Chain A
Amino acid sequence: SQTIHQWPATLVQPVGSPLSLECTVEGTSNPNLYWYRQAAGRGLQLLFYSVGIGQISSEVPQNLSASRPQDRQFILSSKKLLLSDSGFYLCAWGDRGTTNEKLFFGSGTQLSVL
């Protein structure tokens, strides 16, 4: 069965510090990969998605970047965090081989920038 791992679960970082969040998927090949951010009481905001190694699409211009160095690895990064980067970050994978792609989410990372 497929599983998605996301870490860390909680992160507190000072303003101006770098960020690296990692996500890995097991049990599937060539998945679509996604990074979402969820502000408190708000819906899901799509940040980045990837259909393959090295292929990244950005949905919202911001202080973040994403990379996909391996088929089942997706990394969210920032060189200098801003207060506004605080939020709940979610990685998800989708099976592009199906007509109705369903997304499966990781457990999330709560990021607090102070």
Chain B
Amino acid sequence: QKEVEQDPGPLSVPEGAIVSLNCTYSNSAFQYFMWYRQYSRKGPELLMYTYSSGNKEDGRFTAQVDKSSKYISLFIRDSQPSDSATYLCAMRKGAQKLVFGQGTRLTINP
């Protein structure tokens, strides 16, 4: 079993829809959680990071962590075609190496 599971998609939604991207994990010791966005043939860029359970909002993006369920989510409101990319979740315990999900490929259709 992988430490981090992420549905690779692809996920296709119409412009303006609310998008929900999710990851589950098996290691209850994970403390730090991040979301990266990766455009085609580009390096991943850090989108959001959080430490505790609960929600963190940044513009149209909301990161949610539920440690009791070992489940994290990224919500995108008012989705735009420019949001079309692969989204990778990542997490770590303490100073250990970052563990990445496989990534979900998202397409926003105009």
User: A44-B88, A49-B97, A108-B41 in contact; A103/B46 too (CB < 8 A)?
Assistant: yes
User: A43-B102, A44-B100 in contact; A100/B42 too (CB < 8 A)?
Assistant: no
Residues of A63-114 contacting chain B, CB below 8 A? 88, 90, 92, 100-108, 110
Task: Judge if A41 is at the interface, Cβ distance under 8 Å.
Answer: yes
Query: Would A100 and B32 count as touching, CB distance under 8 A?
Result: yes
- Band of interface residues on B: 20 to 34
Query: Would B98 and A103 count as touching, CB distance under 8 A?
Result: yes
* Chain B residues, Cβ within 8 Å of A90: 43-44
Task: Judge if A19 is at the interface, Cβ distance under 8 Å.
Answer: no
By a beta-carbon cutoff of 8 Å, the part of chain B in contact with chain A is 6, 8, 32, 34, 36, 41-46, 49, 51, 88, 90, 92, 95, 97-98, 100-103
By a beta-carbon cutoff of 8 Å, the part of chain A in contact with chain B is 6, 41-44, 46, 49, 59, 88, 90, 92, 100-108, 110
A sample of 30 inter-chain contacts (CB < 8 A) reads A6-B43, A41-B8, A42-B102, A43-B6, A43-B102, A43-B103, A44-B44, A44-B100, A49-B97, A59-B97, A88-B41, A90-B43, A100-B32, A100-B49, A100-B51, A101-B95, A101-B98, A102-B34, A102-B46, A102-B49, A103-B46, A103-B90, A103-B98, A104-B46, A105-B43, A105-B45, A106-B43, A108-B42, A108-B43, A110-B41
